[in-house]
Amino acid sequence: MSCKITLVTPSFNQARFLEETIRSVLSQREQIHEYFILDGGSTDGSADIIRRYADRGIDYWVSEHDTGQADAIHKGFSRATGDVLAWLNSDDVYLPGALAQVKAAFEQHPDWDALTAWHVRMDAESRLISAHRIPREDPKLARWGMHHVNQQTCFFKRALYERVGPIDPKLHCVLDTELWSRMFDAGSNWGHIPRYLAGFRQHPTAKGSSWTELYPKEEQWMREHYPHFNADTPKHRLGVLAYRTTQILTGRHLLAAADARRWRGKTLDVIFGPHRLPQEALK
Question: For the whole model, what pTM was predicted?
Answer: 0.95
Amino acid (1-letter code) at residue 174:
V
What pLDDT score does 1 carry?
A: 66
pLDDT range class, residue 207, cuts 50, 70, 90: low
On average, the pLDDT of the chain sits at: 94
CATH code (residue 23): 3.90.550.10
> Structural domain of residue 195, as residue ranges?
5-281
pLDDT range class, residue 118, cuts 50, 70, 90: very high
Q: Does residue 148 sit in helix, strand or coil?
A: coil
Domain count, the chain: 1
What pLDDT score does 204 carry?
A: 74
Task: Please choose, from the candidates 245, 153, 159, 252, the residue with its C-alpha nearest in 3D space to the C-alpha of residue 199.
Answer: 153
Q: 36 has which bridge partners?
A: 8, 60
Residue 50 has pLDDT above 60, yes or no: yes
Could you count the other beta carbons within 10 Å of the beta carbon of residue 170? 12
What pLDDT score does 283 carry?
A: 47
Q: What is the mean pLDDT of residues 236-250?
A: 95
- Please answer whether residues 101 and 195 qualify as being in contact, where contact means their C-beta atoms are separated by less than 8 angstroms: yes
Relative orientation angle of helices 234-249 and 252-263, to the nearest 10 degrees? 60
Give the integer Cα–Cα distance in Å for 168 and 175.
6
| String of DSSP letters for 208-259 | HHH-TTHHHHHHHHHHHH-HHHH---HHHHHHHHHHHHHHHHTTHHHHHHHH
pLDDT digits (tens, 9 = 90+) for 159-189: 999 999 999 999 999 999 999 999 999 999 9
Amino acid (1-letter code) at residue 253:
H
Of all residues in the chain, what percent carry a pLDDT higher than 70?
96
Task: Please choose, from the candidates 70, 154, 66, 162, the residue with its C-alpha nearest in 3D space to the C-alpha of residue 112.
Answer: 154
Q: 3-class secondary structure for 167-196?
A: CCCCCCCCHHHHHHHHHHHCCCCEEEEEEE
